[in-house]
Chains A and B, each alone.
Chain A
Amino acid sequence: MEQSLVNNEIDTSLLEIAQLDSLEYSGSMLRQLEYLRRDKLSRPLIIVSMGTEAIVAGAEESLATISKYTDERNFDAEIIHTSCIGISNAEPIVCIQLPGRTRLYFSNITEERVVSLLDDVIHKNIPADLCLGQLRNENQEGYKDIPFLDEIGFLKDQKRIILKNIGITDPRSIEDYIARGGYRSFIKTIKNFTSEEICEIVESSGLRGRSGSGYLTGKKWKIAGHTPSDQKYLICNAEESDPGAFMDRAIMEGDPHLLIEGMAIAAYGIAATKGIIYIRTEYHQSIKMLENAILRAQEIGLLGYNILGSGFNFDISIKKGPGAFVCGEETALINSLEGKRGMPQSKPPFPATSGFHRKPTIINNVETLSNVPVIIGKGPKWYNTIGVEGNKGTKIFAISGSIKNPGLIEVPFGVTMKSMLFDIAGGSANGKAFKGIHLGGPSGSVIPPELLDTALTFESLKSIGAGLGSGGIIAMDEDVCILDIVKYFMDFMQKQSCGKCIPCREGTRRMSEILESISRKPIDETGHTTLERFKGVMQLESLAGVMKDTSLCGLGQSAPNPVLSTLKYFREEYEEHIFDRKCRSNRCTELRTYYIDIELCTGCSACVKKCPTEAIFGTPRHPYFVVEDKCTGCGLCYESCKFSAIYYK
């Protein structure tokens, strides 16, 4: 009872704080803010990163060990959670903040490292090799010889506007968010602006949808705003099912209130009263954070009926998407919400005029909506200064693959891919040369190293036949076979095609088959198979063209992109596979030829029994050998050899 009373008191003053201008704060308010932001501490604070990536890397175990440590030694410290800061290979990250000192970030703190780390830090002995950096804060005493977080290579050249709270605040705490200026934009919106003005501000800021098409968000809102209806909907598309993209997840896990605030402002702009977050079921952590955040916002009175006496009603519900890549498409998403198969429909009518239950519906993705509070808070003019002409603001990229520093990168539009890959992400992981980068999920394109000077904008990428997509970047080094990766994407697209229109359903299947046939050895060289093989290769390009022109939705239209871009830039690798039957990076297992090392072979004849084509000859207890022409590269002998005498080229 007492506890809830205290909470209520804090809640009221929090709302007051959010409504006031920062110059009008009283002394007690400033003290409370300092406390909530954890600027001033009375006891040590231990912060454990508990995002999905950290949990995968073992953060739960680390957290348990930390709790055990503090309990056993009666070490009086507060333990809170945060989310991943976006440096993937540093997880699990543990931060320690001692009273009066800056916050220190330590990387790779797995279970077994916890005790020694805590011992060291308590005895004022900072292990420099584990220390990532210290968080800049004017009110606290810094450590000498330890770089600030905004000075380390990965974060130095980033401009974190949307991700500013990621890895710093506790995503479960609305107090933390408000203490850092949260919900101020929303309160400003409902007090000072009309719906029309909000759409105008967002349009003049130049914010474009971050999901791929790049349509002006404010313009889209206006269409829905101008359509008369008794009920309008705002849907947040959090169905981030592109493999290799995880920026939306980072926002939802690390700063769920930012998304909720963005949704509330957007809903006010189009006069919607119901908001739906359509999220992937696999994102357990995000769902947990969002559910908690919505509940807290409702408790305080920032969501619900007649918000802050303004007469504006808005509530958000979470709908878990049952898993279909095609549901990222607007009309398919609406079908899925209505309890039907997630199949796209032909447009028009666009969802902005007739969407969910035939009512005007605006669908924006997580990143787009998270930009909105920033625009309202700092004004469209300020937002206009970031980025380049026609592409305003920042874009978050999720970079992974053969790269030294995989993780989340937020940069202004117009930065070149080269500076992002080398200056921020640190170049290739093992010093090997880049073969190319893959941009924009399975329907994106592969960009060769020569074109890495291209600026990251919607238009310049389009001019080289690529697209921004959702912003997932996979770096590929020499070890990657282009055909193998294209085959993987085609296989993915074929499985995800909804099957409604023929070009996509049959086209992806056929493409998959053609790619399959050129990345394996021909079993017999005579007649029909060879002819079919060459016919297929010749048709690959025209097939891609047909799919692009005639598919119903974006999935089918963009499905041939990986094939087209690689045919353009990596043609010689296709030719090698087709004519020489060689895979230069040895990834196409079915093109391999196996050999036996006569030094190591004991003549046990285990491989002979396994070989399906009788390609291995010899006598027992003497080294065997493989007849190259007969070997189909199945690899069964390789797996059966106990002496590692079999190798492949």
Chain B
Amino acid sequence: MFRNQFIPKRMEKMDELLKKFPDLSRDSLIPILQATQDEFGYLSEESLKKIASTLKLPASKIYGLSTFYNQFRFVRPGKFHIRVCHGTACHMNEAGQILKEIEKVLGIHDGETSRDGLFSLEVLSCIGACGQAPVISINGKYYDRLTKVKLKAVLQSCKNLEDV
């Protein structure tokens, strides 16, 4: 019930968003999905259905396509969206341990959001800052040359921000 209250509002936004794409052919499908994710932070079931009916494509096809690509998420992201770079240079500099530590501390895995809605996690293949490995970014702010100790401090500072 609570969830449904928001659907009409979201659909209005979806209508507006779709207006920006005059060419509603299959070519625009991925840009539309990307714009939807930029707007809402993730792809919800309703938005996927809406896109499907507008583009006259089966919703299952669109869901299949969006799960194929790494970019798309299907869960609402947390207040702090953590992106962990797991490129080769980061891997050699113990990015695996950093990732494990995050998973352990926050209890979430790649593509998930913590229950309190505070943190979400995403693993990237490489952000191209190999000289500064290992790197993570939280809401677009980068933290380089991470160690477990530094990571703890960073996560704690996020939690503190929330408490304030």
In the complex the two chains form, is A57's CB within 8 Å of B132's CB?
A: yes
Size category of the A interface is: 35 or more
Residues of A173-189 contacting chain B, CB below 8 A = none
| Interface segment out of the listed A70-78, A127-135, A315-323, A598-606 | A315-323
Of A282, A320, A341, A488, which contacts B127 at CB under 8 A? A282
Q: How far, in whole Å, are A323 and B124 apart by their CA atoms in the complex?
A: 9
CB of B27 closer than 8 Å to a CB of A: yes
Asked if residues B30 and A244 are in contact (CB atoms below 8 Å), the reply is no
A56-B144, A340-B26, A438-B88 known; A322-B72 Cβ under 8 A:
yes
Known interface pairs A339-B28, A341-B64, A401-B89; A322-B129 also in contact (CB < 8 Å): no
Q: Bits for B125-149, please: 1 = Cβ < 8 Å to A, else 0.
A: 1111111110100000010100000
Query: B129 contacts which of A56, A242, A472, A498 (Cβ < 8 Å)?
Result: A56
- For residue B92, CB closer than 8 A to chain A, the reply is yes
For A364, the chain B residues whose CB sits under 8 A away are none
Q: What CA separation (Å) do A210 and B126 show in the bound complex?
A: 20
Does B71 interact with chain A (Cβ within 8 Å)? yes
A89 to B89, CA, bound (A): 13
Q: A55-B142, A57-B144, A323-B71 are contacts. A488–B91 as well, Cβ < 8 Å?
A: yes
0 or 1 for each of A59-92: is its CB under 8 Å from B? (1 = yes) = 0000000000000000000000000000011010
Is the CB of A400 closer than 8 A to any CB of chain B?
yes
A413 within 8 A of B: no
B-side contacts of A474, CB under 8 Å: 88-89, 92
- Residue of B whose beta carbon sits closest to that of A249: B128
- The reply on B68 being an interface residue by CB < 8 A is yes
Contact A442 B88 (CB under 8 A): yes
- A476 to B91 Cα, complex, angstroms: 12
* Cβ 8 A contact of B70, one of A89, A246, A323: A323
Give the contacting residue for B29; candidates A281, A339, A485; CB below 8 A.
A339
- In this assembly, does B31 line the interface, its C-beta being within 8 Å of a C-beta of chain A? yes
A612 at the interface (CB under 8 A from B): no
Query: Using Cβ atoms and an 8 Å threshold, which residues of chain B touch A56?
Result: 127, 129, 132, 135, 142, 144
Whole-angstrom CA separation of A386 from B86 in the bound complex: 36
Contacts A56-B144, A322-B69; A339 near B26 (Cβ below 8 A): yes
Alpha-carbon distance between A451 and B70 when the two chains are bound, in angstroms: 37
Tell me the bound Cα distance from A358 to B2 in angstroms: 48
- B102 lies within 8 A of chain A by Cβ: no
Contact size range, B: 35 or more
Question: Looking across the interface, which residue of chain A has its beta carbon closest to that of B96?
Answer: A488
- Given A241-B125, A282-B127, A401-B88, residue A323 in contact with residue B69 (CB < 8 A): yes
Is A338 interfacial (CB-CB < 8 Å)?
A: yes
| A54 → chain B closest CB, angstroms | 9
**B27 partner residues in chain A, CB cutoff 8 A:** 337-339
Contacts of A91 in B (CB 8 A): 131-132
Contact B87 A338 (CB under 8 A): no
A338 CB to closest chain B CB (Å) equals 6
Q: Mark A397-438, 1 if CB is under 8 A from B, else 0.
A: 010111000110000000000000000000000000000001
For B14, list chain A residues within 8 Å (CB): none
CA distance A538 to B132 in the complex (A): 39
Given contacts A56-B135, A243-B87, A402-B92, contact A322 B33 (CB under 8 A): yes
Q: Is A283 an interface residue (CB 8 A)?
A: yes
Q: Which residues 11-30 in B have Cβ within 8 Å of A in the complex?
A: 25-30
Taken together as a complex, chains A and B put the C-alpha atoms of A81 and B143 apart, in Å, by 22
Closest 10 CB pairs of A and B: A88-B131, A243-B87, A400-B130, A323-B70, A339-B29, A243-B126, A322-B69, A246-B128, A339-B26, A323-B71
What is A's interface to B at a CB cutoff of 8 Å?
52-53, 55-58, 88-89, 91, 240-246, 249, 281-283, 319-320, 322-325, 336-342, 398, 400-402, 406-407, 438, 442, 472, 474, 476, 480, 485, 488-489, 492, 496, 498
Interface CB pairs A-B, < 8 A, 13: A53-B129, A55-B142, A56-B129, A91-B131, A322-B34, A323-B125, A324-B69, A339-B28, A342-B68, A400-B88, A400-B133, A406-B130, A488-B88
